[in-house]
Chains A and B, each alone.
Chain A
C-alpha cells in the first residue's frame, strides 16, 4: 500500500513537471491595451536612432504614444516578419517599407488604405517619392527618404590621369580605358552583378521603365530597347576588361576602394557614409557627380532601390492616428531634419531649406575635398523619373535578375540575354501568382 502511494506521488510529480515545462508556452499572449489614456501605437523599423524623432513626436502629442520596435532590415527578414504578423492578424500599427517593396505588400494585402488621412499633404513631398505609394489612385504610404544615385569617384586618380569626371556614358567608356591602361590592376568601377538595385538604377536611367500598371494588367518590358542599349554598353566594358567583376560592399571591394584599384562607385546618396566609413585613409581624395548621361547636357537620374516609406499595416486598430504619426514623422521640417542627420537617407520633403543636415555637414564635405556633395544629389533627386513603377514580386525580380546577370558573366554569354531571360522568368512568376500580364 505504501509502495503504491509512493508510485502515485512520483506519477504526480512527473505530471506536474511536464505541465511546468509546457505552461509557459501557452502563456505567450499579446499585451492588452489600456482603455483610456493616449492611443498606443507600435512602429516596426530598422533605421538606427530613429527613436530620437519618435520621442519628439511623443512629447508634442498627448493623445498618441508611439513605441519603436527595432527589427531586422526588410530584406534580411524584417519584411517576412511584418507579412507573417499581418497574416496572423496581429500586426504592428506602423512599419518601415521600401518603395520597391510596396506593391509586394499590396499583393499580400498587408497595407491599409490611408488616402482620406494623408492625401491633403501630398504636395509637401517630392513628386516621384509620393507617387511610389499611390496605386489605383489610393495612397498606401508616406514617403520618408530615398537614395538618388550619383557617382562617387577618386578625384586624385582621375586628376592624375588628366581625366575629368565623365558626364556622358561615352566619356565614361573613354575614362575606363585610360584608367585601366595606366595600371592593369586599376578599374573605373566594379561590375556588381550581385547588386540588383545597382542594375535597376542603370536600367531606370536608360529610359523606358520595366513595369507599368495598365487598367487591368501589367505591362512588363524588361528587355526594352533602352535596357538592351544599357546592357550592350556594359558588355563592351566587360569584353574589354575595363570593369572589375566583383561584388560591391564585399571584403574584396572594400579593399579595392581603399587602394584606389576601383576608382568610382555609382550609388545612392547615403553611400557617402559607406565610402568615408570604410576608406577613412582616403579622406579628401573623393568627389561626387551626377550619373553619366546618354545625351550630353541632360540630368536624367535614378534611385537606388527606390527609398523608404512608413506604412500603416492592414489590421491596425488605429489607422487614422497611425497615418497622423507617419505624416508628422516624415512631413514636418524639424522631424525630417532629425531623420536626415541620423542617416535615414535623402529627405522626401520637397522644401529642404530647413533641413540643416544638408547644408551644414562639414565632416562629409571635408571627406569630399570641400565639395558640397548634397547640392549634386539635390539635382539628382529632382530628376528621378516618376513613371518608374515597382512591380509586385519585387524579390523575385531581384533574385532572378542577379542570378541571370551572374550567369551571363560567369558563362560569358551576352548580357542582353540576362535581361531577356529575366523578362521571361518575371512574367512566369507573375502569372503563377495569378497576376494579369498584358501580352
Chain B
C-alpha cells in the first residue's frame, strides 16, 4: 500500500513535468530561433570583421578582432553624437508622452466625457497607421511648399520650418506622440476600468472632489501602468528609426547616422559593414537595458517611492 502510494507520488510530478515540457517546447523553440539565436548571432558577428587586401578585387576573409568593432563604433564621433541625440530626444518625448496619454485617459474615464467610446477609438486610430505612412504624411505637412498649414501661417507672416536644425527633434517627437499616445492611453484606460467602483463611492461619501480622487485613488492605483508605459516609451525612443529615415530626404538636418539605429542600419545595408552594425546594435540594446532597468530600480526603491 505504501509502496503504491509512494509510486503514485513519484509518478505524478513526472507526468506533470512531461506535460509541461511538451507544452513549453513550441514556445522555447520559437523563442530560441527568433530571439536568443539572433541576439547570439549579433554578438558573435560583432566580434569579427571582413578584411580584404590590395585593390580589393580578391576574395575577402573573416577575421576575429575581439572588441575592435565596439571601439570603432564608440570612437566614431557621429555615432556618439547620435546616442546623445536620442537621449535628448527621450528627455523631450518620455514626459510628454506619459503626461499626454495619462491626461487623455483621465479625461475619457472621468465619467463626464461625451461619447467616450467614440473618442477612445479616434485617439487610438493613429496607432493603426504604420510608422512609415505616418512619417510620410507628416513629411508633407512639414515642408512649406506642400503643407497647407504652413502656407496659411505664412500668409499671416509666420514662417515655420519644422525640419530645420533646431526644431527637427520636436517635429519627430510630434509624430511619435501622434502615433503612440492613443495606444498608451488605451493601456491606462484598461487599468482605470479595473479600479473597483466602491473606492470612488467611498471617496465621494468622504467628500472627495474629482481632483482628490485622481490624486489619492487613480494615480496610486495607476502607478504600475504608468511605470510600464514609461519603460515602453524609453525603449521606443532609444530605438528611434522610422521617422528620421523617412524624413531624411526632406531636410539637411538629418544625416545617415542621426540615431544609433539609423547608423547601424546604414552600416549594415548601405555600407556593407554588418559586423560594425552588429556592435552598434548591441550598444543600443545595452543602453536601453540600462535605462529601463535603471528607471525601474529608481521607482521601486522600497520605502522611498516618489509617489
Contact = CB atoms under 8 A, between A and B. Distances in A.
B282 interface: no
Contacts of B139: 251
A10 B18 CA distance: 11
Task: Among B144, B272, B273, find the residue whose CB has the most chain A CB atoms closer than 10 A.
Answer: B272
A109 interface: yes
Interface residues of A, number: 55
Nearest to A83: B272
Given A109-B60, A433-B50, A435-B52, A251 B146 contact: yes
A4 B11 CA distance: 10
Contacts of B55: 135-136, 213-214, 216-218, 392, 435-436
A403 B256 CA distance: 7
A18 B29 contact: yes
Contacts of A70: none
B272 A108 contact: yes
B271 A436 contact: no
B270 A256 contact: no
A386 B139 CA distance: 40
Interface stretch (B19-27, B36-44, B181-189, B237-245): B19-27
A18 B145 contact: no
Interface in A108-161: 108-109, 135-136
Contacts of A410: 165, 252-253
Contacts of B15: 4, 7
A237 interface: no
A21 interface: yes
Give the interface centre of A17, A104, A252, A430 by most chain B CB atoms within 10 Å: A252
B117 interface: no
A424 to B, nearest CB: 12
B120 to A, nearest CB: 33
B140 interface: yes
Nearest to B68: A432
Given A7-B19, A80-B269, A399-B271, A107 B255 contact: no
A396 B29 contact: no
A252 B250 CA distance: 8
Nearest to A392: B56
A103 B55 CA distance: 10
Nearest to B165: A410
Nearest to A409: B252
Interface in A369-399: 392-393, 395-396, 398-399
A435 B54 contact: yes
Contacts of A296: none
Interface string A179-205: 000000000000001100000000000
Interface of A: 4, 7, 10-11, 14-15, 17-18, 21-22, 75, 77, 80, 83, 103-104, 106-109, 135-136, 193-194, 213-214, 216-218, 245, 247, 250-252, 255-256, 392-393, 395-396, 398-399, 402-403, 406-407, 409-410, 429-430, 432-436
Q: Which 8 residue pairs spanning A and B have beta carbons closest together?
A: A434-B51, A18-B26, A435-B56, A392-B56, A109-B59, A403-B255, A406-B252, A410-B252
21 contacts: A7-B15, A11-B22, A18-B26, A22-B29, A80-B272, A103-B57, A104-B272, A108-B60, A109-B58, A136-B55, A218-B55, A250-B143, A250-B250, A251-B146, A396-B273, A399-B270, A402-B255, A402-B256, A403-B257, A433-B60, A435-B54
